[in-house]
C-alpha cells in the first residue's frame, strides 16, 4: 500500500508553544486513513454519512480533488496535502463532500448552483484550491488569425482558423477575408 509522507505540526499546550525546538512530526497517510478522515468530516460538518470510496490520486495535476457522479467516489490530490497541510486539504474534502451530498439529495451540486455555494459557505470549504508549487501555469493562446471586413476594414482577432465565407461583418454585413498573424503558430497547428 502506498503511503504519503507530509509534515504535520501537532497541537501543543499554550505553555509549550513558546519554545519549539523539536522538528515537526512526519505522519504517513494511507487511503484507509483518508477514508476515515472523509467519513469523520462528513459526519461532523454535514451530519450525514459518507458511504462510498475515497482515495488519493497522484495523477491529478491541476485540481485538489474530484467527485465522480456515477460511482459517488471521491479522489484527493496527495500533493495538496504535502504542500499545504491538513487544514487546506480538509477544505478541499469539504468542497468535494458538498458535491457528494447535494448530488445524492438531487439538489444543485454544480459550482454555479446557489445550493452548492450556500452549503460550501456554511461548512467552510474552499471554492478553489491552492496552486501547487512547481506546476506549469497555462499560457493563453496568442491570436493567430485576423478576419478583416472588405468593406469597412473592421478587424476581428481569432485564436482558431475559421471559414470566412460562413461569417459576415457585425457592423456593415460585408464579406470577411482571413489573414494569418502568427505564421509559426498556424504551421504548428496544421
d(CA 167, CA 175): 7
Cell of 16: 509549550
* Catalytic residue (one of 22, 87, 96, 183): 96
| 66: Cα within 13 Å, side-chain hemisphere | 11
Closest CA to 54 of 70, 81, 36: 36
Determine the pLDDT at residue 187: 57
- Please indicate if the annotation marks 95 as binding a ligand: yes
Summarised one tens digit per residue, pLDDT across range 135-189 is 776 677 789 999 999 999 999 999 999 999 999 999 999 999 999 987 665 555 5
Which residue has cell 471554492? 127
Q: Is 96 a catalytic residue?
A: yes
**Class of residue 117 by CB neighbours under 10 A (exposed 0-12, middle 13-18, buried 19+):** middle
CB 81 within 8 A of CB 4: yes
Summarised one tens digit per residue, pLDDT across range 124-145 is 999 998 888 877 766 777 899 9
- DSSP H stretches of helix in the chain: 31-41, 78-104, 114-123, 183-189
Does 81 have pLDDT greater than 60? yes
Question: Rounded to an integer, what is the distance from CA 176 to the centroid of its chain?
Answer: 39
37-41, 51-55, 132-136: least confidently modelled range: 132-136
Please state the rounded mean pLDDT for residues 40-49: 96
d(CA 54, CA 39): 9
- Please indicate if the annotation marks 103 as binding a ligand: no
pTM for the model: 0.62
Q: What are the extents of the domains in the chain?
A: 4-123, 145-189
Q: What is the CATH number of domain 4-123?
A: 3.30.2010.10
List of residues 6+ apart from 121 with CB closer than 8 A: none
Please state the rounded mean pLDDT for residues 107-125: 96
Residue 127 vs residues 61, 75, 80, 140, 144: alpha-carbon distances, Å: 17, 17, 15, 23, 34
Amino acid at each position: 500500500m502506498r503511503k504519503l509522507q507530509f509534515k504535520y505540526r501537532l497541537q501543543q499546550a499554550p505553555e509549550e508553544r513558546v519554545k519549539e525546538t523539536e522538528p515537526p512530526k512526519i505522519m504517513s497517510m494511507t487511503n484507509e486513513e483518508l477514508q476515515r478522515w472523509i467519513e469523520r468530516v462528513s459526519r461532523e460538518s454535514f451530519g450525514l454519512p459518507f458511504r462510498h470510496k475515497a482515495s488519493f490520486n497522484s495523477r491529478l495535476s491541476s485540481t485538489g480533488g474530484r467527485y465522480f457522479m456515477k460511482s459517488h467516489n471521491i479522489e484527493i490530490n496527495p500533493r495538496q496535502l504535502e504542500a499545504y497541510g491538513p487544514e487546506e486539504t480538509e477544505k478541499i474534502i469539504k468542497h468535494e463532500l458538498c458535491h457528494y451530498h447535494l448530488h445524492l439529495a438531487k439538489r444543485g451540486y454544480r459550482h454555479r448552483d446557489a445550493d452548492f455555494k450556500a452549503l460550501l459557505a456554511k461548512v467552510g470549504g474552499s471554492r478553489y484550491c491552492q496552486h501547487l508549487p512547481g506546476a506549469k501555469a497555462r499560457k493563453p493562446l496568442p491570436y493567430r488569425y485576423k478576419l478583416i471586413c472588405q468593406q469597412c476594414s473592421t478587424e476581428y482577432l481569432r485564436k482558431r482558423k475559421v471559414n470566412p465565407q460562413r461569417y459576415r461583418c457585425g457592423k456593415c454585413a460585408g464579406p470577411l477575408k482571413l489573414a494569418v498573424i502568427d505564421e509559426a503558430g498556424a504551421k504548428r497547428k496544421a
